[in-house]
A and B are shown apart, each in its own frame.
Chain A
């Protein structure tokens, strides 16, 4: 089975721009979570989607948003980019055959975003 894939792998943007990152979960996985990873803050939870619905959200400003499609693929968007948004953005998927079952998350390689 193919793992979690994320595109693009690297991205350079300037302040004020917006960006969209894409995540394709492992086939059959229904839950997709997004994390921001920075050297100072570690892995910070952004949000989680299940069956096209956002179930959980972390403590990030409204500039960070996401969505999930019917095939479980997910996108996250960051508008009005700030220098502090430079980070590795990780996507993780889990099977969750039954909603609410706490199952293993499998991570993609991440998208490294640099904001200049």
Chain B
């Protein structure tokens, strides 16, 4: 079935350390993988995304890696700062009847300790 698993559910790191969040997906046909950051009282905001024809993408302190063979992708945040504290969601696209939808992971609450 359509499923995205996300780990860990909570993550605490010291300011300046790196944080890694991992997701696995069930459909080998999935080809678009966005990551969202959700702060308290706000909707999810896209922070980075990757398509299946690329293995890695980087944007300043944030990077995403994709392993299509293993069907997993990861978010890497380096030099974490207190403002990185939020809930992070991964998602994968699932095609159905010629259209598509996104299935989300259950979220990771990241706490950056000053």
Contact = CB atoms under 8 A, between A and B. Distances in A.
Interface residues of B, number: 25
Contact of A107 (B41, B43, B101): B43
Most chain-A Cβ atoms within 10 A of its Cβ — which of B46, B101, B107? B101
Describe B's contact surface by its main secondary structure. Answer: strand
A42 B106 contact: yes
Interface in B40-95: 41-46, 49, 89, 93
A56 B99 contact: yes
Given A102-B32, A104-B34, A42 B101 contact: no
B100 A104 contact: no
A110 interface: yes
A100 B89 contact: no
Band of interface residues on A: 20 to 34
Contact of B46 (A33, A42, A106, A108): A106
Interface in A27-48: 33, 35, 42-43, 45, 48
Contacts of A110: 42-43
B44 A107 contact: yes
Interface string A76-116: 00000000000000100000000010101111111000000
Nearest to A43: B104
Contact of B43 (A50, A90, A102, A104): A90
Nearest to A42: B106
Nearest to B98: A100
A42 B34 contact: no
B18 interface: no
A55 interface: yes
B105 A105 contact: no
A103 to B, nearest CB: 8
Given A56-B99, A109-B43, A104 B49 contact: yes
Contacts of A102: 31-32, 93, 100
B11 interface: no
Given A42-B106, A56-B100, 10 more contacts: A33-B102, A42-B105, A90-B43, A100-B100, A102-B31, A102-B100, A107-B36, A108-B43, A109-B43, A110-B43
